[in-house]
Structure 1
Amino acid sequence: MSSPSPAPVTTASKPNRVRITVVASDPISREGVLSQLRRYPEVELCENSGPATVTLLIEDALDAGALARLRRTVRSEGSRAVLVVGTVREHELLDVIECGVGAIVWRREATARRLVQAVMTAAKGGGDLPSDLLGRLISQVGRLHRGCADQPGGFLGLTQREVDVVRLVAEGLDTSEIALKLSYSERTVKNVMHGLTTRLHLRNRAHAVAYALREGYI
């Protein structure tokens, strides 16, 4: 993701303030959020994310690139994450939670005060979801639980992680290329494909792609 050089932000850490890094898919969104958050003394804006920061990730919608940024933020950089997003589709919600996101804020509700509230909650290790998303998450977990209990083979759909991998397989990428694009290890990519083919009794990668196409996942 490329953007013009960002405006300078605070780098000296101060006690009792939550350090925030803002990442956006476009520079206008990033600068707008930075200008709003500068008014709040309880937060400190910084350039680099890490274990002591909360990353505010602003996306229009979720795609493979957005999910990869989420994973990198939480797993590689050790930062807590707040996702500000326009939409989250049904099959993406669990993957967002599995990425380690502590809070989700709808873009249409993303006032400066609302963002600070979500950041403060995430910094303390808490969760902050819109009420409609919380209801959807509870319903999804319930369906998955019932499906795993009723089906000898467990959950028979595709997770968003599996969809991301299979989509890239369909585009002709090999294991190392998929790992690089999604910020996974090659072992993780192999494990995803092995779990998918084993659970759904698919013969190989081509069969997995055919299944995903037939079921409308890609």
Structure 2
Amino acid sequence: MNAPIRVLVCDDQMLIRTGLVTIIDAQPDLEVVGECGDGQAAVDLAGRLRPDVVVMDVRMPVLDGIGATRLLAGADVAEPVKVLVLTTFNLDEYVYEALRAGASAFLLKDAPPAQLLHGIRTVATGAALLDPEVTRQLVGRYAARIRPAEENSGELPITPRELEVLRLIADGLSNSEIAGTLSISQETVKTFVSRILTKLGLRDRVQAVVYAYRHGLVT
């Protein structure tokens, strides 16, 4: 049998944290190895426990979820830890910064338990997870603010078709939705996504979304 996915839960609201721990620990393939109520504690615990995934709240005392994510999963971290950020619509100003900090996924706090569990498993495999509704409504809202400071310059090293796929990724579409939109197979979409990430030097779909908005590729 494969070892269970090791999860660290970080949320400053005890009731929510207890609920998350209960849901996750009930799964035979998941194991909560630690829990805490602030971002600095998450960083310290992750260094000792080496979880596979950290489920991270955003607004917390001592060190918020964005700062903690940057220390755990940022570009300069030698051994990054995968972070799944939980957010609510009234905290949408934090979503973009959480992505830039290195988060592999973000979900709404009121997402069904099955979606949370799927998110943890997805992130643990090294893939990224973007809630399409959050992507459209939250990240998109900040496109105008992001674009002026970091306007794209120079020619992109991707083909027009790959650019089309990148824009659909930034719109929050899944592989199956992209396949339907472009009338191509999901396998072809996967190939396009892999090429885009390689050519642009990106780690995952989350970074692809950030790249698209930073470079003004989404209208």
Superposed, which structure 2 residues align to 1:101-180 within 5 Å?
101-109=103-111, 111-135=112-136, 136-137=138-139, 140=142, 144-145=146-147, 148-149=150-151
> RMSD value over aligned CA atoms?
3.3
Give the SS at the match of 1:46.
strand
User: Conserved in 1, the CA contact under 8 Å of 2:11 and 2:60?
Assistant: no
Matched with 2:2 is 15
Call closer, same or farther: CA 1:98–1:88 in 2, change over 3 Å: farther
Identity %: 13
Shift of 1:144: 4.1
Matched with 1:49 is 46
Matched with 2:64 is 65
Equivalent in 29, 32, 41 of residue 19 of structure 2: 32
Equivalent in 98, 101, 111 of residue 100 of structure 2: 98
Call closer, same or farther: CA 1:139–1:39 in 2, change over 3 Å: same
Call closer, same or farther: CA 1:100–1:148 in 2, change over 3 Å: closer
Matched with 1:205 is none
**Alpha-carbon distance in structure 2 between the residues aligned to 1:81 and 1:60:** 15
Q: Deviations over 1:132-156 (max 9, x none)?
A: 22224357558745764499xxxxx
**Alpha-carbon distance in structure 1 between the residues aligned to 2:107 and 2:148:** 29
Shift of 1:89: 5.0
**Alpha-carbon distance in structure 2 between the residues aligned to 1:125 and 1:44:** 18
User: Conserved in 2, the CA contact under 8 Å of 1:61 and 1:87?
Assistant: no
Moved over 6 A (4+): 61-64
Q: Deviations over 1:80-135 (max 9, x none)?
A: 101112236554332111111111111111x3322111111111222212212222
Call closer, same or farther: CA 1:90–1:62 in 2, change over 3 Å: farther
List alignment gaps of at least 5 residues for structure 2: 35-44, 154-219
TM value normalised by structure 2 = 0.51
List alignment gaps of at least 5 residues for structure 1: 1-13, 152-218
**Alpha-carbon distance in structure 2 between the residues aligned to 1:65 and 1:143:** 22
**Alpha-carbon distance in structure 2 between the residues aligned to 1:88 and 1:63:** 21
Q: How many residues align?
A: 137
Matched with 1:176 is none
Shift of 1:79: 1.6
Shift of 1:59: 4.2
Shift of 1:62: 11
User: Conserved in 1, the CA contact under 8 Å of 2:84 and 2:103?
Assistant: yes
Larger Rg: 1 or 2? Answer: 1
Shift of 1:24: 0.8
Equivalent in 80, 83, 97 of residue 81 of structure 1: 83
Call closer, same or farther: CA 1:85–1:63 in 2, change over 3 Å: farther
Give the SS at the match of 2:130.
coil
Shift of 1:41: 0.9
Call closer, same or farther: CA 1:143–1:123 in 2, change over 3 Å: same
TM value normalised by structure 1 = 0.51
